Amino acid sequence: MPKASVIKETNGLLHKRTAQHAATKPNDIYVSRSSSFAGQLARGKKLFLEEGYKEITIHGLGASIERALSLSLAIQAVLHDQVTLLCHTKTVNLYDDIVPDDMVKYSILMTLHGSDDVFDEDEDYRTQKRQNSGVEISIVAKDSIHELINTGVKYKPKVNTMR
């Protein structure tokens, strides 16, 4: 089950759902604040040089937009500018669950004591919709990238891992 952050609201508990996205392709890289920058950089390089992909797409949402942009620029540097970057911004709809206080109390009491007399059955879960910014960066290989593949690139630039 994916992790989601929980925030206390005045009328209940706000449970932020994880963002939904289309099925992942092998040449997609989804960036998060907790993902390994060095690992994703190595994966991007591997997709071009070892696996022969002509295009990869890096996805970033919200706080990870800056990290996604930095990753795409780092991949471009590792590949000696033999790729072109195409950046597309987007707005994504996100949905949160609002759990009423009575339901929270009920679940706690049921867990601790087995009591069920505090639950108001008229209250129910509610959802709220919010929007968040996102970015998709397509990294497309130039024809001259074959020279890098044939010569075997060993160049490893120093990359800021943003920790």
Class of domain 6-142: alpha beta
CA dist 46 and 129 (Å) reads 38
In sign, the C-alpha dihedral spanning 78, 79, 82, 86 is: negative
Find the length of the chain.
163
Give the pair of three-digit tokens for residue 162: 């943003």
Reference 87, options 139, 123, 159; nearest CA is 139
Contact (Cβ atoms closer than 8 angstroms) between residue 83 and residue 142: yes
- Whole-model pTM: value is 0.68
CA dist 117 and 105 (Å) reads 10
SS (H, E, C) 58-117: EEEEHHHHHHHHHHHHHHHHHCCCCEEEEEEEEEEEEEEEEEEHHHHHHHHHHHHCCCCC
9-33 pLDDT tens trace: 456 676 676 777 666 799 999 999 9
Angle at alpha carbon of residue 12, lines to 63 and 108, rounded to 5°: 110
**Per-residue pLDDT for 45 more than 90?**
yes
72-125 pLDDT tens trace: 999 999 999 999 999 999 998 888 877 776 655 555 545 555 544 444 444 566
